[in-house]
Structures are given as structure tokens and as C-alpha cells.
A and B are shown apart, each in its own frame.
Chain A
Amino acid sequence: MTEPITVVVVDDHAIFRSGVKADLDGRVQVVGEAATVEEAIAVIRKHQPQVVLLDVHLPGGRGGGGAEVIAGCADVRQSTRFLALSVSDSAEDVVTVIRAGARGYVTKTISGADISDAVLRVASGDAVFSPRLAGFVLDAFGTAAVAAADSELDRLSARELEVMRLIARGYSYKEVAKELFISIKTVETHVSAVLRKLQLSSRHELTRWAAERRLL
């Protein structure tokens, strides 16, 4: 293991921030914290961390929450990656931060080891999908193979569908790889491809979810 991954934790609950800090293991180093949109943008600009753990709902700014932080940090986006962290169950919240540019989404009930894994995965450029996010993806893109008339971005390949289904069923990337007889790297490639589609697709469900939050 080389240098620890630098992380900024953005959440408006001090209790939760200290909890995350305590949970993260030695592979990760917290270099800054923020509680509001403005603070977050300032702290991220200052420290330029590798990963930002970002709450979906944040006070301040124009009311855009986590998505607004990502949009406000567009100039440092080359080096910094965002992992959304939320207790929210609603599709529009999650889809909004993902479409703003977050590399993944995990729920706040995630364990310490899991969250460190997720941070490392995001830092290395991969996407992190929780079962629930996979569920949202399947809801948005549909679970059936879609007619080829759709744009490439607007549908999932059969393999991507399989991967999403397994993640929704609670499989880890490793288990997905074993199940489908492919390498973990291939699983990660599929998930990243899905993430890209999630961010760029103009599917009605996705634009509707995003539009409901008045952003993007």
C-alpha cells in the first residue's frame, strides 16, 4: 500500500462526519470537512482531495445540495472524484448527483470497511453501485432487452443488465465476477459503462428524476 487516499467529508451532520472519520481505515486519510455547499466548494478547491464523500442533501448555495457542489468544482474535476452518500431513498436525489458527475452512490448504513473499499474504488476511477442504485438503473432503463432503435446511450447491453441485476440482488463485484465467469476488472468496466449511460442518457425517466430537483 502506498500513500493513503486523501478524502474530504461533506455532510451537514457533525455526528455523521465524525462517525465516518472513525470508520474509515488506514488506507484513507481525511484532509478536510465541510457542512454547507459553499464550505464544501472552498475546502475541495483548497485541498484538492482524491475523493469527496458527498451528502446528497446539503444546506446553503442555491438549494442544489450535493449536485451543486459537484457543479461548483468543475475546474478540479480532473483530479477529484465524488462518491455520493445518502440516507435518501428517492430516485431523483440519487440520480441527480450521479448525473451531476458523482462516481457512485452508497447508503449511510454502509460499514466502515465497505466505505473504505468504495473510496478506493472511486479513487481508482471505477464506479460504485449499491444494490439500491442498481435497482434505480434497472427501473430507469427497464429490465427487458430494449429494441435497438434506441440510442446506444439509452439502453443497457445484455451483459450490463446481468451485472446490474446481480448487484441489485446484493452481490459484491467479486461475487458478480465469479457468477458470470468474468474478471473483476470486466465487472468494473461494465459498471463504469452503466454509470456513463446513467449520466449521459436522455431517457425520459432519468431526465424526469433530474428535472424534479430543478438541476441540470
Chain B
Amino acid sequence: MRPPLLRSSDALIAGVCAGLAAHLGMSLRAARIGMVVLSLLGGAGVVLYGWLWLLVPTAEERRRGVATPAGLRLGAPALAAPETRPARSLRTPGGHEVLIGVGLLVVAAALVAQQLGVNVQWGWLLPVGVVALGAVLAWSQLDEARRARLMDHAGATRAEGLARLAAGLVLVMVGVLILVSGSLSWEFTWPALLAAAAVLGGVALVLAPWGLKFWKDLEAERAARVRETQRAEIAAHLHDSVLQTLALIQNRAASEQDVIRLARAQERELRRWLYVDAAERTGNLADRIKAVAAEVEEAYGHPVDVVSVGDTPITPRQDALVQATREAVVNAAKHAGGAISVYLEAGTAVSQVFVRDRGSGFDLDTVPEDRLGIRESVINRMQRHGGTARIRSSDSGTEVHLTMPEEEAGTNHD
């Protein structure tokens, strides 16, 4: 294996020749003579020397792990020593050195050619160089994925696609060059420009359907991605809620009460998710009553159906109404069981709640005085806050009717 190309410390100027000699396996003298001869040939040796001086690290720099300019690897991959440093590609900061190096090479080659008597047309070379440089710069701005996609889209991964692309690029470059080089006078440039515009217009027309299709594909893809995201979100939600509940229901299939409770709780949760926008959850009276009903249903396993009409913000009075409703529903769940209906009618002047069960009923007068539930938590609480509670009970069920007027000026309800 060849020794890596490094500038030697045994140096007349910068150790380039010594490094070259060691690398190429020739004598130091031969390398130096070769360099001098090249220098006499229109200065090519000087350029080469300068280039190598710039780009080739010294042995010292190598040891310290100074990054080798990328040009070394790109220009002469065999010179690199990949086992000692991670391979890097064009996109690494070395890219600029590559550009500089290539530019210098081109300039040097042109100089050599001129020295050798070839009539170098600078007028041509300059635009070519500029266009090439621009292309390389643009190319190096793209990251790997975009480059691959661009290649793919342009069909450059297939032979005929590559040929087409190359031909197109050459044509464009030739056109630009002819315009820029000034080999045509301005008299001819205007018709040429017009012709070019016409051609471009024609091409645009031809490509328009393709472009449109591309755009539509893009739109469709975007829409599909949005749908996919939504679907994933729904799937995640169903998994977290419904599937888990179904699993629980299978486990507890023996207990009817548990199954009903789980099913109801899941239904409520799913309904809330499906039909109520997060933005609509207001925390107002209707929401609070529904939450209370859900809580009692959860605790006692009896379905509590809430129908609400209207809504109103929570005030201390409405809060008392919610608490009283809760007690009434708990009472119904405890003593009557079965389905419980809650109806809320919230208006600007008065809010009413009806809690109805279909139990065997009870007589309020026979309820012991010390039983806190209905008397204290419902009737007295409502009265303390300026509302009323009426209880009607018969053998076909009990209905608690709570009425809470809106705050009136001057009423001291606490």
C-alpha cells in the first residue's frame, strides 16, 4: 500500500515534492525536476505546487487529526487513508475547497494550453466556468435526499433519462453561452431572444399537463397524509378507550352490574369525544350537571340520562343547584335504582332541574329528621341560596323539582 500523501518535513519550500516522491514511490530528485519542468511549461508546476501546498496536510497536521481538505479525497481517492479518519463527502465543509481546487485546475489548464500555443478563447471559457460553477453551487446546496429525489424525478437514474437531462442541460448552456459570449451582435440577439421565448413558451405548453398532474399528485398526497394523521389519532383513541373497555367487559362478563357500568361509562366518554368539540366544553351549568350525572352513574351503576335545554354560567347559586342536583340523583340511585332522568332547563331568569326516578317512592314526612340526605342537602341547601325544592313521590316514582332564580339585587343568600 502506498504511503499517504503528506507534506514532508524534509522540505525546501513546503515539502510538497518530498511528499509526492514518497507517495508515488519515485526519488525526491525526480519529483523536484518534474516540478521545475512543469513550472516552465507555462507555470503549470507552480499552480500544481500551490494547490498541493494548500490542500495536502503535513504529517504533523495529520497526527493532530486536522481534517484533510476534501479535495484530496475527491481529486485522488486513492491518496486518502480511510482507516484513520471517517469518510466525509462533498457536503462537508470541504466542498468549498473542492470548488476552489477545480477552478484553479481549470484556470491552470487554460494557462498551460495558451502557453503551448493554443488559442484559448477566454470569451468562451469564462461563461462556461461561471455556468459550471453556478451549477455546482446549486447542486451542493441540495441535501442528499433532495438530490436523490431530483435525480429520480428528472429520470436521471435511467440511462435514457440521464441522456435526455444531459442533452437538455447542454442545450441550455450553449444557448446561454451564445448569448453571453457576444459572438452574435445585438441585432441578432433580439430575434434570438424572441425565438428563445417562443421555444420556452412552447415547452411550457407541452409540459403544462405534466406540471398540473404533478401539482395534483402533490395535493392528493398532502390530503392523504392529513387523513392518515386523523385516522391514526382516531385509532389511538379507540384503542385507549373502547378496546380497553371491551377487554374489561369480557373479563367481568359474569357481573351484570359491572358490564352495564363499563358500557355506560365508555358510551359517555365516546359521545363526548365524538359530538362535543373541545372548544364547546364550557364548564357552564349544563356541563356541570352532566358531569354530576356521570359521576353518580359511575358510582352506583344506574343509568342517568340528562336532557338539557339552554345553558348559563356558574354563579354561587348555580353551584348550589349543582350540589343539590347531585344529592337528589344520588338519592334516586341509592333508594330507587333503575333509570334516572335528569332534565335541566336553564334560562336567563330561572334555572330548573327535574330529577325523576321510577322507584317505589317514599313519603317525605316519614323520613327521619336526622337523615341528612334529602332534607339538608337538597331542600335546605336550595332554600339557603334563594331557591326552592319540591318533592313529589308516588308508587310509580319520585320527582325532585329544583328551582333556582337568578340573583336579584339586594338578596342576601348566604
> Hey, which bits of chain A sit against chain B, CB under 8 A?
87-90, 109, 131-132, 134-135, 138-139, 143-144, 165, 168-171, 175
Given contacts A143-B345, A170-B341, 10 further A-B contacts (CB under 8 A): A89-B274, A109-B267, A109-B303, A139-B309, A143-B309, A143-B310, A165-B343, A168-B307, A169-B354, A170-B339
B contact residues, range: 10 to 19
Are B310 and A169 neighbours in the complex by a CB distance under 8 Å? Answer: no
Within the assembled complex, what's the spacing in Å between the Cα atoms of A153 and B4?
98
**Most chain B C-beta atoms within 10 Å of own C-beta, residue among A87, A135, A170:** A170
Partner of B275, one of A90, A165, A170: A90
Q: Assuming A88-B275, A89-B271, is B345 touching A165 (CB within 8 A)?
A: yes
Are A169 and B309 neighbours in the complex by a CB distance under 8 Å? Answer: no
Shortest Cβ distance from A106 into chain B, in angstroms? 13
> Hey, which bits of chain B sit against chain A, CB under 8 A?
267, 271, 274-275, 303, 305, 307-310, 339, 341, 343, 345, 347, 354, 356, 396, 399
Within the assembled complex, what's the spacing in Å between the Cα atoms of A137 and B178?
80
Are A169 and B343 neighbours in the complex by a CB distance under 8 Å? Answer: yes
User: Chain B residues near A131 (CB, 8 Å)?
Assistant: 305, 307, 341, 343
Within the assembled complex, what's the spacing in Å between the Cα atoms of A138 and B310?
9
Q: Assuming A144-B347, A170-B341, is B309 touching A135 (CB within 8 A)?
A: yes
Within the assembled complex, what's the spacing in Å between the Cα atoms of A131 and B396?
18
Shortest Cβ distance from B294 into chain A, in angstroms? 14
Shortest Cβ distance from B348 into chain A, in angstroms? 9
Shortest Cβ distance from B213 into chain A, in angstroms? 27
For B346, the closest partner residue in chain A by CB is: A143
Within the assembled complex, what's the spacing in Å between the Cα atoms of A165 and B356?
13
User: Chain A residues near B275 (CB, 8 Å)?
Assistant: 88-90
Q: Assuming A89-B275, A165-B345, A169-B341, is B309 touching A138 (CB within 8 A)?
A: yes
For B347, the closest partner residue in chain A by CB is: A143
Shortest Cβ distance from B122 into chain A, in angstroms? 71
Within the assembled complex, what's the spacing in Å between the Cα atoms of A45 and B396?
43
Within the assembled complex, what's the spacing in Å between the Cα atoms of A113 and B362?
27
Partner of B309, one of A87, A88, A90, A168: A168
